A and B are shown apart, each in its own frame.
Chain A
Amino acid sequence: MSESDAAAQQSQEAGGASAPSRRAVLGWGGAGFALGAAAAGGAAAAFGGGSDMVSAASAGAAVPFHGEHQAGIASAVQDRLHFAAFDVKTKDRAELVKLLKEWTAAARLMTAGLPVGDVHEGLPEAPPTDTGEALGLKASRLTLTIGFGPGLFAKDRFGLEGKRPEALVDLELFPGDNLDPARSGGDLCVQACADDPQVAVHAIRQLARIGFGRTAMRWSQLGFGKTSSTTPDEQTPRNMMGFKDGTRNISGTDKAALDQHVWVGAGDGSDWLTGGSYLVARRIRMNIETWDRTPLQEQEDIFGRDKGEGAPVGKSKERDEPFLKAMKPEAHVRLAHPDTNNGATILRRGYSFTDGTDGLGRLDAGLFFLAYQRDIRKGFIPIQRNLARSDVLNEYIQHVGSAVFAVPPGVRDKDDWWGRTLFA
């Protein structure tokens, strides 16, 4: 079955769905928002493209790997994440370049839904090239996005010290941070997003394998239930606290906003990064159990939104323009809003995580926060300073992992590779 056939079949299945999903009913209540292009016709349409339907319609599809920007930033957010940070072990610049070319070739295949090499046709005496767990699965909108950490630009390493962008700053220690070095930093990162967790995990696993000897996995994070969307025609998903957060996220189709807040521009100082972006990754642990014992009113006051609809204080609909002064001064939404931060705006792409329980029987759960921006100094930092200082939510969360990366521009064509502009 070709990809377009697969997509068509999926589309049919979605269109033929007679009952609306629970989420669609709860979230929209027939409010009549603009429909997602994919959710066409029938009963589904009446309830307006809930996220379930959009992803069902496009689950098999492949997201183009080549382009001006890397996929996985402004692309519609998929359901699942496997994020990995690597240390570069080789000291040889040529080896590193070779690795990046091999990774690019593998990423090109995997994002098209193909294995990286033989799965079961190879020599019986040798391990297969591709580990095989994604065999038979669709591309599942897999995107692979690479980032370069500050360590790569260190002096006497790969001759890149002159190319470290000024905006790739080492983050300060914010009040309340409790960072675990084993969940922080990294010379390289790869963000794998897909609608199928197995597809995302498979992708990271193949890259790790190709990298052994040249890279070593430093840490990785699985994520589910995207906590923000770049598609405003879908409802905003909920985080582990049960709230909608990130309603004001930049739309993946809003070119002007992306150019202004996300993509590094030609005059920004680092030419090799033009068309790229900066990524801040934070593992934010939530004190789930104490949150769950918090009265509803307090929960809503902390966020500055109501729990059911997600409407800002005093408003009735989620997307109503918030009146910040109506919120408590320390409300999360008020403190995070661009108007409170001199217009600072970031593109959020975070995911919920639950990594089992800690030794005390508490859920090790929270938000794996991913933010893309044109300049970390103007994006994440002022917002986080503001939040770390006063956000009442801090009583229920703690930042336990942190990393920053420069995210290079897209791979243009089949001869191009991740990092070409940096190493050229």
Chain B
Amino acid sequence: MRPARLTVIAAASVAAALTAVTGCAQKSDAGGSDAIKVVASDSACDVSKTEFPSGKVQIDVENKGSKVTEVYVLFPDARIVTERENIGPGTKASITAEIKAGDYKIVCKPGMKGDGIAKDVKATGKGGEEKRSPEMDAAVAAYRAYVVQQAEETLPKAQAFADAVKAGDVEAAKKAYAPSRIGWERTEPVAESFGDIDPKVDVREDGLEAGQDPAKDWTGWHRLEKALWADNKIGDWEKELADLLITDLTDWQKKVGQAEITPTSIANGAKELLDEVATGKVTGEEERYSRTDLVDFKANVEGAQKAYELLKPIASKNDPELVKQLDTQFAALNTLLDKYRVDQATYEFTSYDKVGEQERKELSDGVNALAEPLSKLAAAVTK
């Protein structure tokens, strides 16, 4: 719950991503015979050339399939260089981008869903992307897929929450509240990297800036949390806020694939998730009305664990001792959390106001025990 982290830097727009890959002077004649032709169908993604000169590149897309499609140019770590959505059946589209020398993938996504159909391509010429090992690229790509998946899975859950609010059903809304936050909490450092979204969806009343009016400017989950648990009622404004939450989360889901992710940002992101736990959840500040802090806690730990598991192959080579320690501490913290889990198959946890001082200290010790070695993961990945 803090805007703009430094370790995960969002490419705020496609334009920014393009600027990032600019820098090669070699210029190809855009259009005409130099253009890369992509013929997309429901089952294929044909690319006219797999090698082309770096620089300004034009991609002409023709959708010969029956579904709406989208076409991406991706870095090896699955970051988006450029994209075009909503290319209807039988229509054509052109995409232009500055592309540095290096390996890329062109991906068609028939129906705009799933992994799509990918073709390897290469931009040749001077310059090139910073060298990263295939293992690192794989970790980054898998983590990117994870954050995208979390955002996608969150939307229907958030919609269920919003629907309950709009129906004025306090009890149903209370039930749907904590589950709607899990995907966000699992990937919070990436979600927060879009500095404009976090303050809209996850801010607490005391996080508002001077001059902001809680009656108007406080939006998102925690505002609705207060309405449900503290005020125990849903008014017209709350219903509007429910719609707004969905709008903002949809925005997040659209942007999340463009986040700039590196192996070290994954590692430090994992540590930041534990920081979230240490500063917001253990203290009981995060979910002060609903007392569902332990659900967020668990989601933060799961997100950190996912990040760690993806980096583990690299870290085990460089620092096997650290990996051993992290395995132990993740297991220990999960065991500790399970004590408060009503049913191991669900995300229903003991209400945090029922967790005593001694138990909170124990949880805090468990977080410190994991977060300290986790802070060394970035070093173990880069060395």
Contact in complex: A89, B379 (CB < 8 Å): no
Shortest Cβ distance from residue A214 to the other chain B in the assembled complex, whole angstroms: 8
Contact in complex: B373, A213 (CB < 8 Å): yes
Shortest Cβ distance from residue B265 to the other chain A in the assembled complex, whole angstroms: 8
Cα A123 to Cα B368 in complex, Å, equals 22
- In the complex, what residues of B have CB within 8 A of residue A89's CB? 365, 369
| Contact with B378, one of A126, A212, A213, A214 (Cβ below 8 angstroms) | A126
Residues 311-367 of B at the A interface (beta carbon under 8 Å)? 325, 328-329, 357, 361, 365
Is B131 interfacial (CB 8 A cutoff)? no
| Contact with B368, one of A122, A126, A127, A212 (Cβ below 8 angstroms) | A212
Contact in complex: B379, A216 (CB < 8 Å): no
| Contact with A213, one of B268, B357, B370, B383 (Cβ below 8 angstroms) | B370
Cα A182 to Cα B268 in complex, Å, equals 32
Cα A123 to Cα B319 in complex, Å, equals 15
Is A321 interfacial (CB 8 A cutoff)? no
- In the complex, what residues of A have CB within 8 A of residue B267's CB? 125
- In the complex, what residues of A have CB within 8 A of residue B368's CB? 212-213, 216
Cα A116 to Cα B22 in complex, Å, equals 43
- In the complex, what residues of B have CB within 8 A of residue A377's CB? none
Chain A, Cβ-Cβ closest to B325: A213
- In the complex, what residues of B have CB within 8 A of residue A319's CB? none
Is A209 interfacial (CB 8 A cutoff)? yes
Shortest Cβ distance from residue B249 to the other chain A in the assembled complex, whole angstroms: 30
Residues 174-233 of A at the B interface (beta carbon under 8 Å)? 182, 209, 212-214, 216
Contact in complex: A212, B264 (CB < 8 Å): no
Contact in complex: A126, B365 (CB < 8 Å): no
Contact in complex: B369, A216 (CB < 8 Å): yes
Is B254 interfacial (CB 8 A cutoff)? no
Contact in complex: A126, B376 (CB < 8 Å): yes
| Contact with B268, one of A125, A212, A216 (Cβ below 8 angstroms) | A125
Cα A122 to Cα B383 in complex, Å, equals 11
Chain A, Cβ-Cβ closest to B268: A125
Q: C-beta contact mask, B370-383 vs A, less than 8 Å → 1, else 0?
A: 11110110110011
- In the complex, what residues of B have CB within 8 A of residue A122's CB? 379
- In the complex, what residues of A have CB within 8 A of residue B325's CB? 213
Instruction: Give the interface centre of A123, A125, A127 by most chain B CB atoms within 10 Å.
Output: A125
Known contacts: A213-B325, A213-B329. The answer to whether A123 contacts B369 by CB under 8 A is no
- In the complex, what residues of B have CB within 8 A of residue A123's CB? 378-379, 382-383
Q: Please, how many residues of chain A have a CB less than 8 angstroms from a CB on the other chain?
A: 13
Chain B, Cβ-Cβ closest to A122: B379
Cα A190 to Cα B44 in complex, Å, equals 68
Cα A337 to Cα B252 in complex, Å, equals 73
Cα A122 to Cα B328 in complex, Å, equals 26
- In the complex, what residues of A have CB within 8 A of residue B378's CB? 123, 125-126
Shortest Cβ distance from residue B219 to the other chain A in the assembled complex, whole angstroms: 34
- In the complex, what residues of B have CB within 8 A of residue A216's CB? 361, 365, 368-369
Chain A, Cβ-Cβ closest to B368: A212
Instruction: Give the interface centre of A122, A123, A126 by most chain B CB atoms within 10 Å.
Output: A126
Cα A125 to Cα B382 in complex, Å, equals 8
Contact in complex: B372, A125 (CB < 8 Å): no
- In the complex, what residues of A have CB within 8 A of residue B369's CB? 89, 212-214, 216
Cα A216 to Cα B367 in complex, Å, equals 11
Contact in complex: A125, B379 (CB < 8 Å): yes
Residues 114-132 of A at the B interface (beta carbon under 8 Å)? 122-123, 125-127
Cα A122 to Cα B380 in complex, Å, equals 12
- In the complex, what residues of B have CB within 8 A of residue A182's CB? 357
Shortest Cβ distance from residue A88 to the other chain B in the assembled complex, whole angstroms: 11
- In the complex, what residues of B have CB within 8 A of residue A213's CB? 325, 328-329, 368-370, 372-373
Chain A, Cβ-Cβ closest to B377: A126
Q: C-beta contact mask, B290-318 vs A, less than 8 Å → 1, else 0?
A: 00000000000000000000000000000
- In the complex, what residues of B have CB within 8 A of residue A125's CB? 264, 267-268, 378-379, 382
Contact in complex: A209, B372 (CB < 8 Å): yes
Cα A125 to Cα B376 in complex, Å, equals 9
Cα A216 to Cα B328 in complex, Å, equals 16
Cα A182 to Cα B143 in complex, Å, equals 41
- In the complex, what residues of A have CB within 8 A of residue B383's CB? 123
Shortest Cβ distance from residue B158 to the other chain A in the assembled complex, whole angstroms: 33
Chain A, Cβ-Cβ closest to B380: A126
Q: C-beta contact mask, A242-265 vs B, less than 8 Å → 1, else 0?
A: 000000000000000000000000
Chain B, Cβ-Cβ closest to A212: B372
| Contact with A126, one of B328, B357, B370, B375 (Cβ below 8 angstroms) | B375
Chain B, Cβ-Cβ closest to A123: B379
Chain B, Cβ-Cβ closest to A181: B358
Interchain residue pairs A-B with the least CB separation, the first 10: A126-B379, A213-B369, A212-B372, A216-B365, A125-B264, A125-B378, A212-B368, A126-B378, A123-B379, A127-B375
User: Which residues in A have some Cβ–Cβ distance to B below 8 Å?
Assistant: 87, 89, 122-123, 125-127, 182, 209, 212-214, 216
List 6 A-B residue pairs with CB atoms under 8 Å apart, sorted by A's residue number. Answer: A125-B267, A126-B376, A209-B372, A212-B369, A212-B371, A216-B368
Q: A125-B379, A127-B376 provided; 20 other pairs, C-beta below 8 A?
A: A89-B365, A89-B369, A123-B379, A123-B383, A125-B382, A126-B375, A126-B376, A126-B378, A126-B379, A127-B375, A209-B372, A212-B368, A212-B372, A213-B329, A213-B370, A213-B372, A214-B369, A216-B361, A216-B368, A216-B369
